[in-house]
């Protein structure tokens, strides 16, 4: 179970979304061919990914949508709420704070931090913006498990160090810089240019 690769986990997230859509559309069963087609993969790849986690579906019958959705939800750790700190209260931080997709999957922002004295002391919703030097104490009190870095690139490594020193073991990095963290800390980087590259690939080919 531990051995699933990052890309397998990303595909599980994609399957989860397809199953949510199927459920919303009132489909009870989905064949692996159908699931694969919607994810842009071969049926063999879908079966292999799912087989890492158990035995799902019946040969010739397909997957029970509600059951598989629930299983993947559990595997992805989405069957519980996660307490998240947002570091960086600039434009990106503000956009992420109001992004509906996080709360929907169980990620709740419970603390906000910034280095800028002009922002510290304000509140977004019910949550006060705290100075970064209070990260350790506040993260402990609010039981933060994941921190989102939405700071300028120059500040990001120092922020990551403070997050790890504060005992938080999961980091989502939006800054365009590769960060280094100790073993036992999970870090994921969001690279917003990657999706643009798949557009330029398609458009360049069209000519």
Task: CB nearer to its own copies: give 66 or 153.
Answer: 153
* Candidate list 102, 109, 130, 138; residue touching its own copies; CB under 8 A: 102
Our measurement of the distance from residue 51's CA atom to the centroid of its chain's CA atoms, rounded to an integer in Å, reads: 22
The stretch among 60-68, 108-116, 156-164, 183-191 that binds its own copies (CB under 8 A) is 183-191
Q: To the nearest whole angstrom, how small is the minimum distance from the Cβ of residue 114 to its own copies?
A: 14
Is residue 19 part of the contact set for its own copies (CB under 8 A)? Answer: no
Is residue 88 within 8 A of residue 156, CB to CB? The reply is no
* Candidate list 9, 127, 155, 181; residue touching its own copies; CB under 8 A: 9
Q: To the nearest whole angstrom, how small is the minimum distance from the Cβ of residue 132 to its own copies?
A: 19
Distance CA 155, CA 205 (A): 38
Nearest one of 56, 73, 58 to 17, comparing CA atoms: 73
Is residue 157 within 8 A of residue 177, CB to CB? The reply is yes
* Candidate list 105, 115, 142, 157; residue touching its own copies; CB under 8 A: 105
Q: In angstroms, how far apart are the furthest CA atoms of the chain?
A: 62
Q: To the nearest whole angstrom, how small is the minimum distance from the Cβ of residue 205 to its own copies?
A: 6
Burial of 178 (0-12, 13-18, 19+ CB in 10 A): exposed
Distance CA 48, CA 5 (A): 12
- Binding residues for its own copies (CB under 8 A): 1-2, 4-7, 9-10, 12-14, 16-17, 21, 40-41, 75-78, 80, 82, 84, 90-92, 94-96, 98-102, 104-107, 145-146, 153, 169-172, 176, 178, 186, 188-206
């Amino acid at each position: 179970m531990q051995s699933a690769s990052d890309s397998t986990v990303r595909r599980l997230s994609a399957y989860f979304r397809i199953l949510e859509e199927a459920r919303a559309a009132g489909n009870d069963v989905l064949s692996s061919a159908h699931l694969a087609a919607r994810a842009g993969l071969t049926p063999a790849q879908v079966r292999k990914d799912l087989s890492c986690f158990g035995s799902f579906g019946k040969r010739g019958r397909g997957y029970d949508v509600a059951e598989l959705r629930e299983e993947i939800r559990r595997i992805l750790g989405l069957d519980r709420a996660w307490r998240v700190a947002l570091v960086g209260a600039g434009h990106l931080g503000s956009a992420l704070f109001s992004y509906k997709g996080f709360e929907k999957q169980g990620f709740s922002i419970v603390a906000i931090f910034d280095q800028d004295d002009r922002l510290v002391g304000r509140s977004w919703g019910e949550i006060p913006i705290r100075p970064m030097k209070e990260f350790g104490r506040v993260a402990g009190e609010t039981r933060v498990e994941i921190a989102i870095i939405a700071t300028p690139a120059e500040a990001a490594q120092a922020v990551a160090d403070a997050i790890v020193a504060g005992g938080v073991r999961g980091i989502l990095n939006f800054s365009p810089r590769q960060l280094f963290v100790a073993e036992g800390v999970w870090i994921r980087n969001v690279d917003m240019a990657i999706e643009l590259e798949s557009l330029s690939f398609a458009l360049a080919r069209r000519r």
